Amino acid sequence: MGHLSDKRIKELEVLANRLRRHVIEMVAHAGSGHQGGPLGMADVFAVLYFEALKHDPKEPEWEDRDRLILSNGHTCPIRYAAMAEAGYFPVEELKTLRRLGTRLQGHPERTKLPGAETTSGPLGAGLAQAAGLAYAAKMDKKKWRVFCQTSDGEHEAGLHWEAMLFAGKNRLDNLVCIVDRNNIQIDGRTEDIMPLEPFREKYEAFNWHVLECDGNNVSAVVDALEATKSLFDKPICLVTHNVPGKGVSYMENNHLWHSQPFKPGEAEAAVKELDETRARLETELAKL
């Protein structure tokens, strides 16, 4: 990935905005789904799919691809949006989210969707799966890496901490756990429900490298993911500090928009705001 030009950074910002618009349209069309987390992670997924990951949409099972595990599977709308824009399937298919028989279920289903590495749903299980893949890659002397996208709320699950122990013990430096540190979960703020702080120090105590960045700053995400390539002998935790509902002012930092159905006019207002942001970003891009 290396250093990216200002123009490329702005292009990724425009792309992240487009991914957010897809999320709103998908969830509104389905009548249910999750918006807050996916909107907050749009910048991270834009960088992952269009700069950081080694992958090939035309050959989803390419042996040397990097593996991306979505542990917080309910945030799949942002992954589906990124995959569609990358060419894994037609963008028009996004409107089949959560329909009976669709490939785009409310949680990813590996056997239905090429490019989805695991079937996810139970929170806390993803890092264990990712650590197993990373361990297997070490055994087979493979060069591909494993990225595991997790939520902060799922750190309340015990299995996640067992996986942290396993990864630390086995020095899985081919494993990157990306944490969506947005400080909310379905019932409120994480620090009220089950405090996670001191968060960084917990990972470090389990023998992990820890990086932190503003997850809604594309340039910061690019730099952080590039930095993971220079860390060795320990697994890597990248804590991305994200604003849930990012890009839609009435959703931002409101835990009720974890998965609240839209009322009449709300989705349209969100799309309008995102379109205004897109127009500004495209004007800025044209000047570069």
Element (H, E) at 151: strand 146-151
Q: What is the CA radius of gyration of the chain?
A: 18
As given in the structure block, the two tokens for residue 266 are: 């709300």
Which of these, 273, 180, 272, 244, lies nearest to 34 by C-alpha position? 244
Q: What's the mean pLDDT in 73-101?
A: 97
- Report the pLDDT value the prediction gives residue 70, as an integer from 0 to 100: 97
Class of the CATH-defined domain 6-254+262-286: alpha beta
- Report the pLDDT value the prediction gives residue 279, as an integer from 0 to 100: 98
User: What is the amino acid identity at position 45?
Assistant: F
Q: Is the pLDDT of residue 2 over 90?
A: no
- Report the pLDDT value the prediction gives residue 215, as an integer from 0 to 100: 98
Q: Is the pLDDT of residue 68 over 90?
A: yes
Q: Is the pLDDT of residue 62 over 80?
A: yes
Torsion of CA 180, 186, 188, 193, to 10 degrees: -80
CA 5 to chain centre: 23
- Report the pLDDT value the prediction gives residue 38, as an integer from 0 to 100: 98
Say whether 142 sits in a helix, a strand or coil: coil
Q: What residues have CB less than 8 Å from 192, skipping those under 6 apart? A: none
Q: What's the mean pLDDT in 26-52?
A: 97
- Report the pLDDT value the prediction gives residue 8, as an integer from 0 to 100: 98
Sign of the torsion angle spanned by Cα atoms 95, 185, 132, 204: positive
Q: What's the mean pLDDT in 238-257?
A: 97
- Report the pLDDT value the prediction gives residue 3, as an integer from 0 to 100: 81
Most distant CA atoms of the chain, gap in Å? 54
- Report the pLDDT value the prediction gives residue 207, as an integer from 0 to 100: 98
In the chain the first and final C-alpha atoms are separated, in Å, by 20
Res. 1 pLDDT band, cuts 50 70 90: confident
- Report the pLDDT value the prediction gives residue 73, as an integer from 0 to 100: 94
- Report the pLDDT value the prediction gives residue 53, as an integer from 0 to 100: 98
pLDDT tens digit sequence for 169-220? 999 999 999 999 999 998 999 999 999 999 999 999 999 999 999 999 999 9
Strand order across the beta sheet in which 67-70 lies: 67-70, 146-151, 175-181, 236-241, 209-214
Contact 176, 228 (CB under 8 A): yes
Say whether 236 sits in a helix, a strand or coil: strand
Q: Is the pLDDT of residue 121 over 90?
A: no
Which of these, 165, 169, 242, 176, lies nearest to 209 by C-alpha position? 176
Which of these, 247, 179, 167, lies nearest to 208 by C-alpha position? 167
Give the span between the Cα atoms of 167 and 234, in whole angstroms: 8
Q: What residues have CB less than 8 Å from 275, skipping those under 6 apart? A: 21
Question: Domain spans of the chain?
Answer: 6-254+262-286
Count of other CB atoms within 10 angstroms of residue 92: 8
3-state helix, strand, coil in the chain (%, to 5): 50, 10, 40
